[in-house]
Structure 1
Amino acid sequence: MGRVLEQLVGDAGAFAKTLEERRPQLFRPDGWPAGLPRPQELDAVLRGGLLRVPYVEMVQDGEVVAPERFCTARTVAGRREDGWADPERIAELLGEGATLLLPQLDQWHGPVRALATDIALRLGRRTEAFCFATGAGRRGLDVHRDDADVLVVQLAGEKEWTVHEAPADGRWRPGLAPEPGPVALHTVLAPGEVLYVPRGAPHAAVGRQGLSVHLSFTVREAGVGRLHAAVGEFLAGGAEEEGLPERPGTDEELLAAAGEVLRLSRERLAGLTPQELVRLARGPLPAPAPAPDSPDSPGPLGG
């Protein structure tokens, strides 16, 4: 396992406390973490011809841009396929004030996946990666709340951030925040600098000095709805062990089966601890990323 989290925020233990206290914080790493992409790499991917919706999106004036405005169609193996990113159209829209979004880099960019995996394993929480490119004086979204803790890593240009205080309790919803409350941190991120935005803290960012590009690692956390869902999944996981008929034929048999399901469910729930429920609600963590060219992880073509 790497040391990505320490490279981004310094002491991982101190950062875990920052997560608990939900305070925005600025970090200035000494170097550029291995695997963190340079904007030129992402530009090459964009121009490489294989990027398509939904792994590329654009937003302008707070609205999602229709894919046909920045994508093109191709014929592949005799079939017409839509949604291929067109770098020239994307450049035009960026010049008109739109924001480019590359969602889920962790799903298709190997080095970024390794970084997100390392963060997830260190913090015990599912982590995803998103990339944003914004022109000077522009912002993709108005002040809003995210349902995740976010580590913002500036890749190119500068971006001015305003982060408001996180809500004092859990009674809030993600989305636009027209009344964001007191400002907790105001800063300008330069390339290589890192900003922590707490879950639920209203925030907005404005690009400065040319094209601003940043990578966001979103660290997901379970809510009450996910806890309820995890209870259902936990109970359903033991259904095969009950030995009950799948389709009782009479009302009497159905009532008997219902009574047995309740009895077995109570027994199973009695052994479920809050700690285990939280672990189940957070979901499975990814396996550690293999080392490059590792012989233990051959590709689909045997490489």
Structure 2
Amino acid sequence: MTTSISPRSEETTRTPAHLADLVGDAGSFLGEVWGTRTARFSCGRAKALLTVADVWRELDCGSLIAPYFGILQEGTATTVAGIAETRIVQTKPRPGYAKPSAVREKIAAGHVFVLSQLEDWNGRVGALVDSLRAECRAQAGAAAYFCAAGSGGVPAHADSAHTLTVQLAGRMRWTVGEGVHASETVVEAGEVFYVPAARVRQAVPCGTDALLLVISLQQPTARDLAELALADFLHSSAAQDIAGTHHFLSLEEKTAWLRTELRAHLAGHPHGALAKRAVQLRQREGRAQGRE
């Protein structure tokens, strides 16, 4: 079920910079919507985060380079095959630069053009993503998708992250779920569409070119938190003190010691700080993988 939340009064002088700018009451969103159901929100000024003119400007400026762009291929993976070229930069060949004419040919043929990792190089999007990362305690990233009218749009897939999709231009018809549980929602320019993690979703443009910004938010798993807490415990004074004497203890004594000390360690561990560190670690790992 998709919940449609009525528009709220909006400023038009600045782009969204916080969760509340996108969804209204952030507390209600996180407490009642997050992880439970899809929802649609109105945020007209979100359209200024990135425009179609911005996309063409980035493509034509000559400095767009992999991995910050691509063409959507099967599934949700992107490729630069056939749309990238090698240029001479400071007397050395440098591959991976976007070739504007080739990109336009792909778009005309029905392919979806993607600008990736926008949080790293677009100031407005980066500021918003930084805020969402802290407010949602989640690894966060953003990508823009330009879908020409008549294209296949974003194919069906199940995302492991929660997503907030800002419709920047045009209209998209989203299908979330499968079979009898599937629901359709048409998202207009200036609206934000939330889909919980693990839901199968796909989107196609509704008769016109469309530009959307997909912000992915992936919270640490229980395993992430457990591994980080255990690593901290192994470096604690209690663990260091027993390191040289544990072989004098019986298995039962070791088990009892571990149960007592680990419980005490976790009781004194700030949960918010642990989650924040887990997010930071996942973010660094994600960026490193994205640049490989």
Which bin holds the TM-score, normalised by the shorter protein?
A: 0.7 to 0.9
Aligned residue for 1:270?
264
- Change in Cα spacing, 1:275 to 1:138, as seen in structure 2 (3 Å) is farther
| Cα shift readout 1:92-124 (whole Å, capped 9, x = no counterpart) | 111112112222111111111101112223333
> Is this contact kept in 1: 2:165–2:194, CA < 8 A?
yes
Asked if 1:200 corresponds to 2:198, the answer is yes
- Change in Cα spacing, 1:199 to 1:66, as seen in structure 2 (3 Å) is closer
Distance in 1 separating the partners of 2:47 and 2:147: 24
Distance in 2 separating the partners of 1:221 and 1:107: 20
Match of 1:108 among 111, 118, 121: 121
Asked if 1:224 corresponds to 2:222, the answer is yes
Distance in 2 separating the partners of 1:265 and 1:88: 64
Aligned residue for 2:285?
none
Distance in 2 separating the partners of 1:272 and 1:35: 44
3-state DSSP of counterpart to 2:65: coil
AA at the equivalent of 2:265 = G
Aligned residue for 1:8?
22
3-state DSSP of counterpart to 1:69: coil
AA at the equivalent of 1:143 = A
3-state DSSP of counterpart to 1:142: strand
Instruction: Normalising by structure 2, report the TM-score.
Output: 0.75
> Is this contact kept in 2: 1:162–1:187, CA < 8 A?
yes
| Greater fraction of residues in helix | 2
AA at the equivalent of 1:56 = F
Aligned residue for 2:62?
49
Aligned residue for 1:283?
277
Residue 39 (structure 1) shift: 2.2
Distance in 1 separating the partners of 2:141 and 2:268: 25
3-state DSSP of counterpart to 1:130: strand
Match of 1:82 among 91, 95, 98: 95
Match of 1:187 among 185, 198, 217: 185
- Change in Cα spacing, 1:188 to 1:124, as seen in structure 2 (3 Å) is same
> Is this contact kept in 2: 1:56–1:85, CA < 8 A?
yes
Residue 275 (structure 1) shift: 7.7
3-state DSSP of counterpart to 1:101: strand
Aligned residue for 1:25?
39
Residue 82 (structure 1) shift: 0.8
AA at the equivalent of 2:29 = F
Unaligned runs of at least 5 residues, structure 1: 165-178, 287-303
Aligned residue for 1:210?
208
- Change in Cα spacing, 1:63 to 1:219, as seen in structure 2 (3 Å) is closer
Aligned residue for 1:99?
112
Residue 153 (structure 1) shift: 0.4
Aligned residue for 1:118?
131
Unaligned runs of at least 5 residues, structure 2: 1-15, 281-292
Residue 207 (structure 1) shift: 1.6
Distance in 1 separating the partners of 2:269 and 2:207: 47
AA at the equivalent of 1:109 = N
AA at the equivalent of 1:118 = S
> Is this contact kept in 2: 1:221–1:282, CA < 8 A?
no
> Is this contact kept in 2: 1:101–1:132, CA < 8 A?
yes
- Change in Cα spacing, 1:219 to 1:19, as seen in structure 2 (3 Å) is farther
> Is this contact kept in 2: 1:139–1:204, CA < 8 A?
no
Residue 136 (structure 1) shift: 2.1
Distance in 2 separating the partners of 1:272 and 1:65: 42
> Is this contact kept in 2: 1:138–1:206, CA < 8 A?
yes
- Change in Cα spacing, 1:232 to 1:95, as seen in structure 2 (3 Å) is farther
> Is this contact kept in 2: 1:230–1:281, CA < 8 A?
no
AA at the equivalent of 2:232 = F
